[in-house]
Structure 1
Amino acid sequence: MSSLPKTSSRPGQSTSKQNYKKIWYAPASRAKWYWLLVSGTFYLLLFTWYQYALHTGQEAEPFEDPFRLFGICAFVLVLLSASYTLRRRFARALPGKVQSWLWMHTWLGIITILVALLHENYAYITHDFLQVPNDLLEANLGPIALFALILLVFSGIAGRLFDQWQTRKMAHEAATNGVGIAQAVEERVRHLEETAESLCAGKSDAFKEHCQKRLQPTNQQKNMLASLSGSLTPRARSDLQRAEEALDERARLLISLQHLQQSQRLIRRWRMLHILIASLSLLIITYHSIMELSITILHITTIVPSP
């Protein structure tokens, strides 16, 4: 996404009067609806199985089939959702667009909560509420794993909405500043500074001092302009006017650049927070899943009864 100038065919036309074509548009991805359909269908199948298990009198316990299978499915969905980070940061050669992987990450993350609730038969949510803090440690950190998963998914949804909000702010800023994104603004600011410095070449000390003050963030930048113009030659006054135009545009772009960089910093900080939550949550969920598999399926570990 960027903002490209329409170059004028008239010679001598000022570049400051260029019309900028806004092309801030991201094409919609079909993966959004594909992964929604796949995720919704998969969950409906599991939910149908869940209802059948309840009506046939099967015990609704996490370590009983099919509720054990629901837990395995939830853990597999967690790993599939986490593969988005692998695709984006480490294995960029994997097929598919990052945007498509993001939709997979989003929809699978949402239904993972629903499948985990089936696994627990909605315990801790609609019944069997936690009474004391030690209840969080039962079933090999099962309640903590469930709440960590809920926190992870909801933080991801909030982060996605926050990203869209800040991205729209940056897109609006880039579309209205006449230059574009932060990198383009920085290049334009450097060009304007070089233009002002070149116009100072061979001029009086007062001319140079005025331009230097305009380049600094002071509150009284134009106090010398009226008195300075009267003491300059016509050519110097013309150069002063050009320098003023360049410095005015620079000051305006610096404000726009500040807004763009602020949005970028906020997005980076939020993503770092989400990565931290995801790492801790994945660690807890993995521990709970491995311990449950070791006890109920592989029978590697046994539960030691309390004395």
Structure 2
Amino acid sequence: MAEWLYEAGIGENRAALVSRGGIWKARIELEGTSPRVDAVLEARLVDKAAKLIALDGGGEALCDHIPKAVTQGAKLRVKITREAIPEPGRAKLPKAVPSDEPLSDGPTLLERITATRLPVRTLRAHEPDALEEAGWSEVLDEAITGEIGFAGGALRLSPTPAMALFDVDGNGPLDTLAVAAAHAVARAIERHGIAGSIGIDFPTLSGKGARNAVAEAIDAALPQPFERTAVNGFGFLQIVRRRLRPSLPELLRADPVGAEARAELRRMERLPPPPPTTHMVTRNVARRLAQQPAWTAELARRIGGTTEFISARD
């Protein structure tokens, strides 16, 4: 039976939908994520032409459907429809629409998975590592490297500002490879929470029947709602899904050192007592942890002792 595994980590909260021993969905909520989807906040209109608003509590967003009566500098209440999306250079701003709903912070990761009505099991550090047993590290490695294997071939995922791109590679008959790849892409999209515009470069298929079989495989394997094109003569198919928040690859690639540091804290939390007085990490991770004293203080509270993180160059 499918169940959510949830872990309140240091610097991030984690959840994985596990079924038949594998992870079907992996989600990470970074500490301090704000504003969240469905949050209702007060704001001020900064630039009506650019649809730019300033959110109470800090930060900016883009707001669609601003009423004509709202003038520049005026206050308005908005609902967040998309969280900020990290990109090289500058993140895409959150999106919002005017709202008259009561003020709220928007649901947390735990509240979102609880709302699915599937069982939720909260994990503890002293228990067997159910996340790791289901393949958590492998999923994170997929997100960071973009290398995703499947029976008979492999996918290479490349997130770009315009779209997420999947390249298909493998051996054997191209028709069979393309259909298998379609199922693998659908599972990867769900597993990593990929949305927005998604392009898939399948092998070039000669017949219309083979191209239709690939499109039908996408329809069967990827839950609605989404829109897609047909597979064109060059083997390219595009999918569009509503984008609410960053995908796992976008989140981890935006700050790989932070991701590595939080993963190291997770490993440390699970070491049997007594905690080590020193622990060797990379120089970048040691620097990041020194910049996050609240993380190391929380680790000390959880493991009952202070550990100094050192690097080989210290």
Common fold: TM-score over 0.5: no
Higher strand share: 2
Highest RCO, 1 vs 2 (Cα 8 Å, sep ≥ 6): 1
TM bucket by the smaller chain? under 0.3
